[in-house]
Chains A and B, each alone.
Chain A
Amino acid sequence: MDFPLFHLAYFGDRTLIAVIAILHVLINHAFAVGFIPLVVVLERQAAARGDAAGDALAKRFMGVAFVLTTTIGALTGVGIWLSTALINPEAIGSLLRVFFWAWFTEWLVFISEVALILAYYLTWDQWTGPRKAAHIRLGWTLAAFSWITMAIIVAILGFMLTPGSWASERGLFSGLLNPTYLPQLAFRTPLALAMAGCVGLALSVLFTERDSDLRHRTVRFCGLWTLVFLPFAAAGLVWWWASVPADLAQNLATALATQQAAAQSYVVLWTLLGLAGIVVAVAALAVIAPRRIGLTLAVIALVATCLELGWFERTREFLRKPWSVPGYLYANRFRAEDYPMLQRDGILAHAAWSPVRQVTAGNRLVAGRTVFDLACATCHTVDGLNGMRAILRTMYGPPPWDADAIAAYIATIHDSRFYMPPFPGNDTEREALGAWLAALGSPLTVAGKAP
C-alpha cells in the first residue's frame, strides 16, 4: 500500500523468492553446514594415515564448496533479502525491526564464516606438516560458524511459522524462542549432514580413479555418513510436524500439492518417502559394495535429498499462509489490526500509489485491477502461475463469468480456503474486483489486460 508495485506477471511474486531461497538453502545445507564437517573429518583421517592423495581429495572437495558457497551461496543469501524486500517490504521491514539484534549477530557470524572459508581453503597448501593440526582446527571452527549462521536464521524462519508469545510481548527473545524452532533445527542439522554425504559420493566418483583404493574408502565413508544421519533427520521431521499447530496443519494437503490435486497429496507424500528410500538404498550400497557406485547413482541420491529439502521448504512456507507474520501481518501485506478500518474505508483510500482513491461508475475496472494488485498480486498473477483466468475457468467453466458471484465468493473465500487472507477492502472494492475478474473472461473489455 505504501510502496510502488513490483509484480512478476508470469512467474508470480512468490516464485522469485522461492527460486532464490531454495537455491540458497540447498547450497548452504549440502555444501556448507553439512559438508564442511565431512571435509574436515576426511582431512583428519588423511593426516592420521599420512595419506597425501586423501588430503588432496579433501582439498578438492573443499574447492567445490569454496567456489559454490562464496558465489551462488553467498549471493543468494543476500538475494533472499533483496527479493523479499521487493515482494513484501512490509514483512521484511517488520522482521528487521523485531530481529535486528539477531540479524546483526548473524551478520558478524557471517563475516567470520566467509573469512574462515577463505582462510581454510586458501591456506590448505601452506599450513602443512606441523601446522596441519592447526589447519584442522581452523576447519572445525569454520564448521561451527556455518552451523551457527543456520541456527540463527532458522529461529527467524520458525518465528514466521509460529511466533509463540511474540504477538503479546513483541520482544526479540519471545520471538526467537518460538515453539517450532528447536524441532526445525533438529531436522535441518542431520539432513544437511546427510545431504553432504550424497555430495561426497558424487564428488568421490568424479575426482578419483575407478576401482582405486581411495575411491572405495571415500565412497564407503560418505555412504556411512549419510546412513548415520538420515534417521536423525527423519526423527527431527516428526518432532517438527508434531510441533506445528493444528490450525496451520490443515493447509498440509494443499501445501504438499496444489489445491486442485489436494486430495491426491498422499501421492506426494509417498513419493517423498520413496525418495528417502532411494537415498538409503544408494548409501547402503556405497557401504556394502562401493565399487558399484557410479556417478549416476550418486547424482540420483543427491537430487533426491535436494527434492526432499526443497519440498520441505515449500511446504513450510505454504503452511504459514495466509500469514507473513502470524497474527500480525497477512501475506497480502496488510496488518490484521488494520482490517476493521480498511474494511470500512477501503484500501484504495489509503494506498499511496493507487491511481484511484474511490470506486466510481467510470473507473470500476481500473479500481478492480488496482485492488487486485494490492490485495491479491503477492500470490496470484493474471495469466501466469496461480493465474486468475485459469482459476476462474476451473471454478466457473468457460466465460462469461458472473461478477456478482465472484464478488460474493471473495467475501467468504477465507472460510473454506484457509491459506488465503480475508479480503481487506470494503464492499465497493470487492464488487469492483469481482467486475474486473469477470471482465477477464470477456472479449469486450480489453481493460482486463491493462493497465
Chain B
Amino acid sequence: MDPSPKDLPLPLPLSEPALTGLLVLFFILHIVFVNVTVGGGLIALGYQFRALREPAYDQLARSICRIITVTKSLAVVLGVGPLLCINLLYTVPFYSANLLTGAVWILIIPLVTAAFLLLYLHKFSWDRLAQHRGLHITILAAAMAILLFIPLIFLTNINLMLFPEKWRDIHGFFDALMLANVLPRWLHFMLASVSASGLLLAWWTSRPGFSIPGLATTDLRRQGYAIALATSGLQFIAGPLVLMTLPSVGLNLRLHLALILGIVFALPALYWMWREIDAPSALPGPGRRFWWIVASLGLTVLFMATARHLYRDEALALHQARFAIARDAYAERSALARAGGELPPLGPAEPGAVPPISQASSSAGAIAAPTDRGEAVFKLKCRACHVPSKRLVGPPLQEVARIYAGNPEGIAAWVLKPGRKRTEYPPMAPVKLPPDDLKAVAEYVLRVGGSATAAAAPPPVRP
C-alpha cells in the first residue's frame, strides 16, 4: 500500500475549534467584499452598455466603479485571513490541491494584478475615452472576464481538496475543474455576488445627497431591489444543483439542518424585496425594510457558510485522521532511528530489490583497502572528486603528481586554499585537515599518481 501523506509535526497555534470559527468568520468577511466587487463590476458593465442608449446611466456606472476601487483591494487583503486558517487546519488537503493545479493556481497573481490594473485604467480614463465608448467598455469587460475566471480557480481548489480519493486521477487544473461540483458552485457564487451588489445599489443610490441628472433615485433603488430579487430567486435553482452534484461523502444531518435554516431566513428577505419593488416606501433612504433584508440575508450567508464548512469537515474527517496517524507513526519511527534502534520492516521487499552497492566496487582505478593514514584520509575527503587515472570532478592524480612531483607541501597548501586553474572544471572547495593528515594525504597522492603514470594504464572505459 502507498504510504499516506503526513500532516506536519508542529503543533497548531490555536485549538482546532477556535481556528475553525475564525476560518468561517474571516471567510464570510472576505467573500462579501469579493461578491460586491464581482457583482458590482458586472452591474456597472450592464449600465455602461445601457448608457450607449440612455447616456444618463454613464454617471451611475461611474459611481459604482468608485465603490469597486475600494472593495476590490479590501477583498484581497481580507482573503489573507481565511487563507492563513485553511493552511493550518487543512495543511495536507489544501496544499495538495494547490500543487495538483499548480500552474493555474499561481496564475491568480498575475491575473488579478492585470484585472486591477485594467480597472484603474478604466476608472482613470473615463473622461479621456468619452468619445470612444466601445473601447472604454471593452476595458471593463476584459477586467470582468478575468474576475469571473478567478473564482473558478479558487473553487476548483477548494473543491478538489475535499476529495483525496480523487487526487491520483487529477492531472492539472482542467481535470479538477471538471469535477461535478465546480461549475454549479460557481453559478451559485455569481448569483450571490450580483444579488449582494443589487442590494448595495439600492442603498448606495438612496443615500442623502446622491443624485444623477436624468435619473430618479427611487427608480434606481427599485432597480437595485429588482436585480437582488431576480438573482436571489435563481438561487432556488442553483442551490439544489450544488447540493445534487455534491458527492455524498460529506452529507449529513447537521449540514442539511444548516441549509434549511439558511433557506428559511432567505424567504422573508425575498418577500421584503418584492414589497420594496412593488410598493417602495416614500421615505428617503433605502426603504424601511432594507435593514431587515440585510439582516435576514446575513443569517442566510452565515448558515450557508457553516453548511459549507460542515460538508468539508465531514468529507475530510477520515482523511485528516489518516494524515495525523501517518504523521505520528513517522515521527515515532524517526525518533527510534535517531536513538539508533532497530527499525521494524516497512513492508515486504519487492522482487528484484537491489542491495546497496558498496563504494569500493567503483571503477576507474579501484583503490585497495586502506593500509595507511594518507589513503584513509584520501578515501574520506578526496576520493569523491579524484581518482588515479581519470577525470572525475577534479583532475586525475596522474596529472596532479606531475605538477607537484617532489612537492607535497604544494599539495597541502592547495588543499587548504585551492586556487582556480582549470576553467573547464568547477572550483575545488577548501578541505580543512590537520597538518599530519595533510602531509599524509599529499604523499599518498604523489605515490598513487606517480605509479599510475608509470603503469601508463589506459584509462578504463565504462560501457
Contact = CB atoms under 8 A, between A and B. Distances in A.
Interface in A428-442: 428, 431
Contact of B87 (A96, A262, A364, A405): A96
A211 B14 CA distance: 61
A114 B77 CA distance: 8
A426 B358 CA distance: 12
Contacts of B9: 335
Given A4-B167, A416-B429, A404 B113 contact: no
A93 B91 contact: yes
A404 B391 CA distance: 13
B334 A97 contact: no
B424 to A, nearest CB: 7
A347 to B, nearest CB: 11
A107 B426 contact: no
A400 B463 CA distance: 9
Interface in B387-407: 387, 390-393
B354 A79 contact: no
B431 interface: yes
A111 B77 contact: yes
B337 A341 contact: yes
Interface of A is mostly: helix
Contacts of B105: 82, 86
Interface string B2-38: 1111101111111000000000000000000000000
Q: How large is the interface on B (under 10, 10 to 19, 20 to 34, 35 or more residues)?
A: 35 or more
Contacts, number: 234
A350 to B, nearest CB: 6
Nearest to A429: B356
Contacts of B79: 78
B108 A359 contact: no
A350 B330 contact: yes
B420 A263 contact: yes
Interface in B41-92: 69-70, 73-74, 76-81, 83-84, 87-88, 91-92
A358 B346 CA distance: 11
A312 to B, nearest CB: 23
B98 interface: yes
A395 interface: yes
B350 A93 contact: no
Interface stretch (B195-203, B215-223, B276-284, B360-368): B360-368
B88 A97 contact: yes
Given A86-B99, A259-B426, A395 B356 contact: no
Contacts of A259: 426-427
Interface in A67-104: 67, 70-72, 74-76, 78-79, 81-83, 85-86, 89-90, 92-94, 96-98, 100-101, 103-104
Contacts of A403: 462
Interface residues of A, number: 89
B109 A115 contact: no
B328 to A, nearest CB: 13
Interface stretch (A181-189, A192-200, A215-223, A407-415): A407-415
A323 to B, nearest CB: 16
A56 interface: no
Given A411-B359, A431-B356, A341 B3 contact: no
Nearest to A417: B429
Contacts of A81: 80, 83
A97 B384 contact: no
A345 interface: yes
A449 interface: no
Interface centre among A96, A260, A418 (most CB of B within 10 A): A96
A340 interface: yes
A74 B76 contact: yes
B347 A349 contact: yes
A387 B183 CA distance: 40
7 contacts: A2-B5, A4-B100, A89-B91, A341-B336, A352-B6, A397-B424, A427-B356
For the complex of A and B, 10 pairs with smallest distance between CB atoms: A427-B356, A341-B337, A100-B13, A416-B429, A79-B109, A6-B102, A2-B5, A360-B352, A89-B95, A404-B362
Interface of A: 1-6, 16, 20, 67, 70-72, 74-76, 78-79, 81-83, 85-86, 89-90, 92-94, 96-98, 100-101, 103-104, 107, 110-111, 114-115, 117-118, 122, 170, 172, 259-260, 262-263, 335, 337-338, 340-341, 344-345, 349-353, 357-362, 364, 394-397, 400, 402-405, 408-409, 411-413, 415-418, 426-428, 431
Given A82-B106, A405-B392, 12 more contacts: A86-B99, A335-B9, A341-B334, A341-B338, A349-B347, A352-B3, A352-B5, A358-B350, A359-B354, A360-B354, A394-B426, A427-B356
